[in-house]
Amino acid sequence: MSATGEIDETYRPLHLDWPSCLNARDLAGMPTKGGGRIRAGALIRTDGHHRLTEQGVAAVRDYGVTRIIDLRRQRELDREPSPFFGNPLYLHHPVQNPADPDHEWMTLADIYIAMLDLRPDLYAAAVAAVADAPPGGVVVHCAGGKDRTGITVALSLAVAGVEPAVIAADYALTEARLAEESAAHLETIADSREREIVAGLQPTPPENMIKVLDHLTEKYGSIEGFLEAGGLTADQLAALRDRLA
């Protein structure tokens, strides 16, 4: 943000052409407090890699990626394995336990809050995986690159000094990137009530992420306080800042 509190209009999202990822972007250039920027190639968010073509896999490797953090549950991996599974750069780190509820009757923002309050240790460990990664680019992904990825990336960016409004604006970009796939998915749901629930969970308005970040600040004192409560160390917080900004 600028000194006047307005979002820096010089920032433009860097969408990546990784066939066939729908929602891949490098967070390079995102403004931080004090006039800094998120480093190019440091943190990349994407949807799942199970659809990547051979060219897509090559594009990931050619981008200088040294760590891929897959946040999906084991049953998702079993159904749609990552092409990087078994590679030293790949790390499977689910942020939900198998028996955790999906809370689909809640609003999306409240689902995020429930997930974070239930598993601060898992989200802190996911952020730690970013901080502890080898030198190079870190990719964070789940299935659509929307919810679990959005939360983990938001926590990382907040530690690096990105303002909530900027984080929320980046989160909101996912809706357009997944619009065609989301619409196609709705067409496959025959039950009208289920279709209504799913449709309500597809949009990604920035207010969702603002509400989440406000909740964590109010409950834990700060984003860093939430992560420390989950087990992130002061050295890892410092390493994350150095890596990203």
Q: Tens digits of per-residue pLDDT, 44-97? A: 999 999 999 999 999 999 999 999 999 999 999 999 999 999 999 999 999 999
Q: Are strands 137-141 and 65-70 parallel, antiparallel or unpaired?
A: parallel
pLDDT of residue 8: 63
Mean pLDDT of the region 111-131 = 98
pLDDT of residue 172: 97
pLDDT of residue 102: 85
Question: Which pTM was predicted?
Answer: 0.95
| Alpha carbons 245 and 212: distance in angstroms, whole number | 23
Beta strands in 88-210 (DSSP E): 90-92, 137-141
CA dihedral (198, 204, 207, 212) in degrees, to 10, reads 80
Between 4 and 112, whose confidence is greater? 112
The residues, ordered by sequence, that sit 6+ positions from 50 with a Cβ below 8 Å of its Cβ are: 80, 81, 82, 83
Residue 92's closest CA among 61, 136, 51, 122? 122
Residue 81's closest CA among 56, 101, 52, 58? 52
